[in-house]
Amino acid sequence: MHNEHLNKDFFRYHASKARSKTYINLREVSDRFKLPPGDYILVPTTFEPHQEADFCLRIFSEKKSYDRTLSWEAPQG
């Protein structure tokens, strides 16, 4: 498990490329997206703020894909 928090600045400078059509409090949420090749971060969330939960992410790709853990540092300023 990788426990790293992305601060508000990350989301200010990196626009969302895809998201669920409806943000809903369900056990399972699925959707399909067609994205160009690139690096993406998946951000699972809980419906209520400041709650912790276990998540199972399943990603299917029609083309070969690679997963890896990335680090990001907020811009200084």
Which residues are CB-neighbours of 9 under 8 A, at least 6 positions away?
74, 75
**pLDDT band for position 1 (cuts 50, 70, 90):** very low
pLDDT in tens, 21-63: 888 888 888 888 888 888 888 888 888 888 888 888 888 888 8
- Asked if residue 25 lies in contact with residue 47, where contact means CB atoms within 8 angstroms, the answer is yes
Does residue 48 lie within any of the structural domains? Answer: yes
Q: d(Cα 61, Cα 65) in Å, to the nearest integer?
A: 7
Residue of 39, 43, 36 lying closest to 67 (CA atoms): 39
Does residue 14 lie within any of the structural domains? Answer: no
Can you give the residue range of the structural domain that contains 53? 37-68
Does residue 4 lie within any of the structural domains? Answer: no
pLDDT score for 14:
87
Does residue 8 lie within any of the structural domains? Answer: no
Does residue 21 lie within any of the structural domains? Answer: no
Q: Name the domain count of the chain.
A: 1
Quote the pTM value.
Answer: 0.60
